[in-house]
Structure 1
Amino acid sequence: MRWFLHFHNTRGMALANIVAGMQAGVVRFDGSLAGLGGCPYAPGASGNIASEDMIHMFHEMGIETGIDLGHIIALAAQPRDWVGHADSAVLKAGTCAELVPLTAAKKQG
């Protein structure tokens, strides 16, 4: 039997739940570009886990996805203009690869 897990990120726990799923042996997860989605019957609920956040986490964990994260991030930036959806964590803060080392930041300042 193949299992797929699908998480909403209402309380910011979707990535932790994905890691727990991985520890239980699940290897397929459902996400949505920019976290779009949700439930019309749950007022205030955020959408699904953003694909770009999930893919970024996998890459930082050394898990190869075969997905071009930069391309996904570029696509994920578009829906906010169409539907006014809030940015995902990766869209807000960038990827870990974009972080400036502390020594470089001190030299710039």
Structure 2
Amino acid sequence: MLHARPDYAHIQDPHGKIPTEEPVFLLRGCDVLAPLVVLSWVALAERAGVDQTLIRDALAQAKRMYEWQAEHGSKVPDGPRAPEPESVTATISAEEAELLSELRARKAAAGRTPRVFVI
């Protein structure tokens, strides 16, 4: 599994179901955004026709995340400390800019206003 965060690289799939180079994104129960992200995935999954068993499992996981947060608290996502940037202006790569443009074009073609957050 290829994690988005290098400090999570030690978390691996012991059964080998996920290919080594396949990108994964881990959401933790303490992440205040995690249950909302899972619920957003559920909404998209329903539109895409994902099996209802997976949707029920995802809803149950979002519920467990909310329960965890009620008992243990939650926090804004963080990561390993990085050097202070030279500029506070957010920058994205040319590839990210192209993907963002494509998303906006698709949404506009569908008559919807895209809501994209770039940090």
Structure with greater Cα Rg:
2
TM-score between both structures, scaled by the size of structure 1: 0.28
Give TM-score, length-normalised by structure 2: 0.26
